[in-house]
Structure 1
Amino acid sequence: MGKWLLFFVLFSVLHVVGQVQVDSINEDSRYFEDQFYLGVTYNIVRNRPDGVAQQNLSYGLQVGFIKDLPLNGRGTRALGIGLGLGLNTYYSNLLAAEGQNGISYSLGDSTTGFKRSKLETHSVEFPLEFRWRNSTLEEYKFWRLYAGIKAAYLFGARSTAIIDGARTGFNNTDVERFQYGLMLNVGYNTFNIHVYHALNDLFSEGVTVNNQIIGFSPLRIGVIFYIL
């Protein structure tokens, strides 16, 4: 259902872009806020099974470029279509182990020498923003509210753990490769608050620990910097 909703939103956006009349935009006042962006977030894991707790500092990094498409003559409304890279980490007591029968999961316990575990993902991201701002052709410091959706493809995921002082790790294939969610960026000038709310789980359907679906649905809160 969520994937179809995302496709519908993307189709609607392309339809809106197609309806924008170029001759209705005053060429003397039109400008493009094409921007590079850099973001840092704290990652909160929702939809966790009983007994799974976050540990340490789960963080995320994102970097990319957004193309600006003005929707009115003053440039105060626009669409932003981007391409970027994301790295996200999730520290918890969820211990993943690779065996001959696949990947199994358990809850780490300090009595067994468990210290910490981490799931790290690498992704290509495709943000799509509806942009509202009070900028002008001459003013580069302005208030903005950018809301939209972000799709991502996870091209890499790795589970690591430290047990009895030894580090182990392997490429985890139990993740849902296609990720999508809602995002909001609001702020002034270069500094902006960033929020991302995932609409699907990080782990694939049917992956369990102690007979419970693992899920893992990220909520990321942090800052994002736009650089012209």
Structure 2
Amino acid sequence: MQKLFQIILFLSCLTVFSQEEPNFSAVDSLYREDQFYFGVTYNVLNLKPKDVSQNSFSTGLSLGFLRDFPINKDRTFAIAPGLGFSYNNYKENLVVDNLDGTINYSIIESGINYKKNKLALYFVDLPIEFRWRTSTFDSHKFWRVYTGFKLSYLILSQSRYLDATQNFKINNNPDINKMHYGAYISAGYNSWNLYAYYGLQNMFKNGSLNGNPIEISTLNIGLMFYVL
């Protein structure tokens, strides 16, 4: 009789468990939009000195990871700090030269046929952004507007000039600021998002051109892609 009671109890429990459905709401309430990002931009020199001009397509590349922390019940708003790396180059007519240990700046005179003149900057980035999106647990195609602030530390700078008679490169120019910062916005649908970054700091902390301090900031415009 005891064995019969145990068998009936076992079958009853099995029936109850077989009728229970998974609690998807518990999973849904915990989802995040943790994302890797990759960006490509066109870099514009802003507030540049007189006679300084860009003469070719200046590009920027960035990649990294952002950790998502939702701040409302529907998880449509979030704060996301991150870590990344970026590369920006600027092709212009400002020549950087090192004469006897002194950094000098000059403008390439019109009519001079040169092959290359560019400034390349490599950064470690610390972005933090405020996020709004229409995402849900079961769909990764949604509208988003992410706006934030990015602090960047310069790990390498390279100035390069090349013409028919001269070829020189300067690494880690001490006149360039190590810390850079600016505001940005990214907006779009699904993987494709328009992106803009505005630098809030002068690129140079020292250096002069024709007796005037060099004041240059940057505006980067392009596309940002997010991958879960």
TM-score normalised by structure 1 residue count: 0.84
Q: May I ask how many residue pairs the two structures share in their alignment?
A: 202
Matched letter for residue 61 of structure 2 = L
Matched letter for residue 109 of structure 2 = D
Unaligned runs of 5+ in 1: 1-25
Matched letter for residue 33 of structure 1 = E
1:179 aligned onto 2:180? yes
1:140 equivalent in structure 2:
140
Matched letter for residue 76 of structure 2 = T
1:154 aligned onto 2:154? yes
2:73 equivalent in structure 1:
73
Cα shift readout 1:103-125 (whole Å, capped 9, x = no counterpart): 00000124444444101000000
1:88 equivalent in structure 2:
88
Unaligned runs of 5+ in 2: 1-25
1:51 equivalent in structure 2:
51
> In the aligned structure 1, how far is the partner of 2:91 from the partner of 2:111?
19
Per the TM alignment, residue 207 of structure 1 is displaced from its structure 2 partner at its CA by: 1.4
Runs in 1 of length 4+ with deviation above 3 angstroms?
110-116
Per the TM alignment, residue 139 of structure 1 is displaced from its structure 2 partner at its CA by: 1.5
Matched letter for residue 207 of structure 1 = G
Change (3 A) 1:110 1:153: same
Cα shift readout 1:175-223 (whole Å, capped 9, x = no counterpart): 111000000000000010110000001111x411111222210000000
Structure whose alpha-carbon radius of gyration is higher: 2
1:227 equivalent in structure 2:
227
What percentage of residue pairs aligned between the two structures are identical? 40
> In the aligned structure 2, how far is the partner of 1:41 from the partner of 1:166?
30
Cα shift readout 1:11-68 (whole Å, capped 9, x = no counterpart): xxxxxxxxxxxxxxx7752311110000000000011111111111111000101110
2:60 equivalent in structure 1:
60
Per the TM alignment, residue 101 of structure 1 is displaced from its structure 2 partner at its CA by: 3.9
Q: Answer yes or no: is the 8 Å Cα contact 1:157–1:173 preserved in 2.
A: no
Q: Answer yes or no: is the 8 Å Cα contact 2:28–2:137 preserved in 1.
A: no
Per the TM alignment, residue 173 of structure 1 is displaced from its structure 2 partner at its CA by: 2.1
2:21 equivalent in structure 1:
none
Q: What's the secondary structure of 2:88's corresponding residue? A: strand
Q: After superposition, where does 1:1-228 map in structure 2 within 5 Å?
A: 28-164=28-164, 166-171=166-171, 172-204=173-205, 206-228=206-228
Q: Answer yes or no: is the 8 Å Cα contact 1:30–1:74 preserved in 2.
A: no
Matched letter for residue 178 of structure 2 = R
> In the aligned structure 2, how far is the partner of 1:47 from the partner of 1:54?
12
Q: Answer yes or no: is the 8 Å Cα contact 2:176–2:203 preserved in 1.
A: yes
> In the aligned structure 2, how far is the partner of 1:213 from the partner of 1:51?
14
